[in-house]
Structure 1
Amino acid sequence: MTGYTVIDVETTGLVPERGDRVVEIGIVKVSDFGEIQEHWSTLVNPQRDVGPTRIHGITASDVRDAPTFAEIAPYVLGALGGRTVVAHNAVFDLRFLASELVHAGVALTDLPLLGLCTMQWSSTYLSAPSRRLIDCCTACGVELHDAHSAHADALAAAGLLAHYLDVSRFEPPWGDTVTATRKYAWPPYGDSYPELRMVHRDAARAAQRDDAWLERIVSRMPRSADYRVESYLDVLEMALLDRFLAEHEKDQLVAVATAAGLTRGMVLDVHGSYLEAMARAALDDGVVTTEERRELDHVAAMLGLRPGDVDAALRVATVAIERETPATDGAIATAGIVLERGDRVVFTGEMRRERSEWEILVRSHGLEPGGVTKKTKVVVASDPNSLSGKAVKARSYGVPIVTEASFERMFTAWTRGTA
């Protein structure tokens, strides 16, 4: 009996096959009797921009001195050999794990990686309102602090695993998975191990997400009997945190759905269920405001649904509230920088104001947004330590990089002076 290794990763995006990388990993070793044997975590320098800080709370500054995945790869491999890999939404985490190991030069020949999914088994062992990690943990009394940090999420998933093992009297029904995973031929690491250098996030600095509205939505999502639907919905919720689906996020969702083997009809059913849950959240106070209706229409359009679907979702939500039943039974400026008209200004990364809004604004005052060149006056980034391609190029040219707040002060002072 060699036990389990629970993992959790925070990432720059949703699809590793399109260049998204791991920015944090948490690893917890658990015995076959649910006892935690060892646990560790570290931030990871993705050697690119860190992606949605609003979700994982990690900034470019946080990962600047963190190890790359290649540096920790031997220790990750050492935690996997002869054990069953476990994750909450294992399809997602194992795809990133495999991608990072291959990127680090590990010769994985048997893909996709196999593992045990605590999300998949949650409907067997829990009576939780949703398959979200926090709801599953609440249902069985497992503590989850600092959600969306890899260490906390991995420990929480380990707690779920221990609960499942206890309920099954340590004779769980996933024997075939255990046999297959523990026979997996992980490549040996023959070189000398580098020093294991770990960098941990400062929980006090972790970004706070304004997601109370989202929480009300996902808590009303019906559970699905199909694990593939649950896995897709978990990724959809992350993509919709900012209430907007960019084109690349749409492409990412297509890739996730394809990897999960979902048909177009199944995906539209999930989208319809999400819209109904959103309508239920909007009706919580008995009134759908003009802004809430506009947002419902906007989300419906993004999800490939029709305007009439919003009306139908509101009717279903109204009846559900009256009956106190679930909403649906369906599937689921810096000193020394002086701006002048004609100057090129470049924006990179996620900022408080949309990049397109900034570009329209500066263009209206005679500045030129665009790509980074040697003549660029300033690059504006959500974090001046950004590892985005634009920021890296700016540094090579000696172009100053400032925060959005600094540029806003600089720009406001300049526009007042030129008015």
Structure 2
Amino acid sequence: MTTTSLNTADWPATYPRDYVVVDVETTGLTARDRVISVAAVLLDAHGAVAGRWSSLVDPRRDPGPVHVHGLTAGDLAGQPLFEEIADELADLLTGRVVVAHNASFDWKMLDAEYRRLGRNVPAEERLCTVTLAKRLELPLPNWRLASLATHYGIRQLKAHDAEDDARVLSEAFRFALHEAARGDLPLPLTRPGARGVSRLPVQRSAPPKPPCPYVNPGAAHEGMLVQGMRVAFTGETRVPRETLEADAAAAGLCVTGSVSRKTSLLVTNDTESGTGKNRAAREKGVPVVDEAAFAAMLADVRPGVRVDVPVDTAPPPPSVAAAPQPPMADIPEVPVEARASGVLNVLVLHGRSEHAEAGRVRGLVAERGHRPRLNLTKSVDIVIVLPEGGSDPRAAKAAGLGITCLSAAAWEAKFVATGAAESTPPGADTAEGDRHVCRELPRGGVHDLPGAERPGLWTLQASWRWDRPDGEVDVVAFLLDASEKVRGDCDFVFWNQPATPDGGVSLEVMGSAEQGVTIDLDTIPSDVVRIAVAAVVDGTSAFDAVGPIEVQTGPFQAAAHTRSVLDAATVERVLLLGEFYRRGAGWRFRAQGQGYEFDAVELARRYGVDVES
């Protein structure tokens, strides 16, 4: 694998400035389950580690799949409750982009925990590394963390361990972040707290607290403070709380908002106040001093051990361990996988009035066995430029990258009229050795899902142009019975109702131009015979402002089994993407691509949803 250094002076201006890589282990997969372990790695704008934190959590229930996460009831008994670490974790999340692998899951579990406390997740944006890997078109056999780690040469020490998974993902994300920055690709940022998504970082009102650069040496004893100790405050103070916290941080102490077994000292002027921090300090044996004693201790803080010292000379504890970072020059530039089959990746650039012609050209590309692309990435081999497409900034960028640019007439003369051999007939199942190859499914094409009546968990992902000029796109789904109607309004899955009551069908905002539907086909009620999935354009826009939609389907986290590029002409505001339906004892997927001029409300009504006027 070759490596190149990236001049950070040329770093994309729209990229965020702070990230926190998060991993959680849980008692199960639903929001009713509980977090039992959480780890966070703080990263700066360029992906360098700025701090680490982790904690086990006592769920006060059965730990669930021990064979997966390895944590027994005995391991978790007596560990902090989530409410006892909520403030400390919130300090790490605030003002940062939350990065996770299958980020919607980690976010869902954290959101459920904070909602139990009457709070929201203290972050505004998240980024899913699965979606980022797809945007980079990494040649992975599937989208699991282990495959991403192998791709970047990162060693996993203990899979499904929150601390090690967070470490592995932070290293992989750093590589992927630099790879995206080289191509100036927009990052797949989403804002889970609001409908729709945000393509650009938002202005953050609360800057994150800087991480403590010192290892936590443990509890404070005999009136002595050491840099890295965790200090909490509670109750009224004579000196403003903000001043005390600032003085403590300036002295090299770690100011925390909660009390746990890792807390070194609690400062309070009223030990009998009965606050949660006072109770926790008594239960966990955390030393307690008043404000005056703390001021005296603060005058003589002993030097601590920095987290960035070599591990072999001063190994810090697991919760703050800082692994050495590769220098900037070691960020790998992953070469494009050779396409020995002769299949070309082709991007068509056009203006809004040329949408229909562009669709025809993309159809020709697919007929010849090549792959129409929606975005300019390093995998694109040829760019076809229609007359109005010359003003698209991607045309100049493609030429600057040395990518072959052709007019539609030149493309047809070279690859169609000359009878160039097709590499793979559209819709055919293909394989290269033992490696699965995605099936290009044309409009109306059908794919039999493996697994007969129990195909398991499947995902449909829809994606479109990252730089769409206007219009908000949303993916919706309908569970339909034999009469082609929903059984009730709960069978309509959309932005305000993102999952069915049993969680069998759920929506996921994967990125700024990617949304998906995950379906547990094994649990779909027998009277549901079809699940229809559509994309709708909000407001007054139509699909001429969005362009084609790429649809991929496959088992959850596995490589895609089918892929389709669907054009929706010009004035349509609804595009049926595809349907999963029963066929005998099994399931099938059909790509559709039918567009309609009416809006999402009318679509819902036609499927029998009771929509208020």
TM-score, normalised via structure 2 length: 0.34
Higher helix share: 1
Structure showing greater Rg:
2
Higher strand share: 2
TM-score, normalised via structure 1 length: 0.48
Higher relative contact order (CA 8 A, sep 6+): 1
